[in-house]
Amino acid sequence: MTVIGILGSQLLTTQKDPFYWNQVVFTRKRLLDAIQILGHSALVLPVDAPEKAADLVSRVDKILLSGGNDLSPDTYFDLPHELLGITDPARDAFELAAIHAAIAQKKPLFGICRGMQMLNVSQGGTLFQDITLCHEISLEHWQKTDQETPSHTVTVKSDSLLSFLPELHAVNSFHHQAIHKLAPNLTAIATAPDGIIEAVENKDLRLLAVQWHPECTFSSQPLDLEIFRYFIEEL
């Protein structure tokens, strides 16, 4: 059994919120479902002090970075744009430390949505703080339909870690940010028809990431479960 360390999300509210005292740390059950269906297990690593990230990463086999809030533009040396959403600088700092620890410990990394954006930023890339700031976009990347239904295609490179996917793969889309400058050591291995980067890899770092949410579609699209199986059993 392989134990996946999922970097945890936080639901932080303001004092105006009646549930202010019920702030929670969580991960999506669908991520656990995908891992557990394949016979493996996960430990959630809640946001913690960056200095402790290396020790925590050493307790698990591989690291999964999940979706969530916007990255703070501080992480890629940009100023906040008015279209920037809610950020969580403590989570950003812990995740960056965990990524560098995983690379130092030669542990595989898999990023989903925000997780892909975080991996890009960790390697020196930047983001569009809102996808409308990329003038070439022509697709709706925050779909109105349910999370289980694909809404656009991606073109997948055949010589990539995702070579088990067909050249055209249908994906769901729930992101209002996107990769702007790709980190120099990452390769774009899937793109949407409008050019938005939808998957990246670095084979030497055992790093794979997708912009879509395969944890929502694997019941109807077995190839999306294969992405988890590949990460857990082969990456």
Question: Applying CB under 5 A, which residues contact Mn ion?
Answer: 141, 173
In the complex with Mn ion, which residue's Cβ is closer, 43 or 137? 137
Q: Which residue is nearest to Mn ion (CB)?
A: 173
d(CA 144, CA 37): 28
What three-state secondary structure class fits 169? strand
Tell me if residue 233 is catalytic. Answer: no
Q: How far is the CB of 104 from Mn ion (least distance, A)?
A: 31
Q: Which residue, 55 or 140, is less far from Mn ion as judged by CB?
A: 140
Cα distance between residue 156 and residue 127, in whole Å: 21
- Catalytic site includes residue 215: yes
216 as an active site residue: the answer is no
* CA 58/CA 60 separation, integer angstroms: 6
Closest by CA position to 152, among listed 110, 213, 100, 223: 213
Alpha carbons within 13 A on the beta-carbon side of 67:
19
What is the C-alpha separation between 230 and 42, in angstroms, rounded?
A: 16
Least distance in Å: CB of 213 to Mn ion? 10
Q: How far apart are CA 71 and CA 69, in angstroms?
A: 7
Smallest separation (angstroms) from Mn ion to the CB of 172: 8
**Which residue in 175, 198, 213, 216 is the catalytic one?**
213
Q: Which of 40, 95, 113, 201 is catalytic?
A: 113
Give the nearest distance from C-beta 128 to Mn ion in angstroms. 12
Q: Which is nearer to Mn ion, 40 or 180 (CB)?
A: 180
Nearer to Mn ion, 71 or 93 (CB): 71
- Report, as residue numbers or ranges, the catalytic residues: 113, 213, 215
